[in-house]
Structure 1
Amino acid sequence: MQDTPPKMRFRVESRRVNAHGSRSRCKNAEVALDTDLAGSPDAFNPAELLLAALSACMIKSIERVAPILKFQLSGVEVVVEGVRQDVPPRMESIRYEIIVDTDENDQRLSLLHDNVRKYGTVFNTVSPGTDLQGSLRRR
Structure 2
Amino acid sequence: MAGRRDAMNPVELLLAALAACMLKGIERVTPMLAFQIEGAEVALEAIRQDAPPKLTLIRYHITVDSAETDQRLDLLHRNILKYGTISNTLSSAVPLEGSLRRKV
Q: Distance in 2 between matches of 1:99 and 1:114?
A: 14
Q: TM-score by structure 1 length?
A: 0.71
- Counterpart of 1:120, as a letter, is G
- The farther-off stretch of 40-49 and 65-74 is 40-49
SS in 1 for 2:47: strand
Per-residue deviation at 1:101?
0.5
Does residue 31 of structure 2 align to residue 67 of structure 1?
yes
Q: Distance in 1 between matches of 2:83 and 2:59?
A: 18
Does residue 25 of structure 2 align to residue 50 of structure 1?
no
* Corresponding residue to 2:76 among 109, 112, 132: 112
Query: What's the RMSD between the two structures over aligned residues?
Result: 1.1
Q: Distance in 2 between matches of 1:55 and 1:77?
A: 9
Structure number with higher relative contact order (C-alpha < 8 Å, ≥ 6 residues apart): 2
Q: TM-score by structure 2 length?
A: 0.94
Q: Distance in 2 between matches of 1:41 and 1:71?
A: 39
Structure with the larger helix share: 2
Structure with the larger strand share: 1
Gaps of 5+ in 1: 1-16, 21-35
The structure whose Rg is larger is: 1
* Corresponding residue to 1:126 among 69, 80, 90: 90
Gaps of 5+ in 2: none
| Equivalenced residues, count | 103
Cα deviations by residue, 1:69-106 (Å, 9 ceiling, x for unpaired): 00000100000000111122111110000000000000
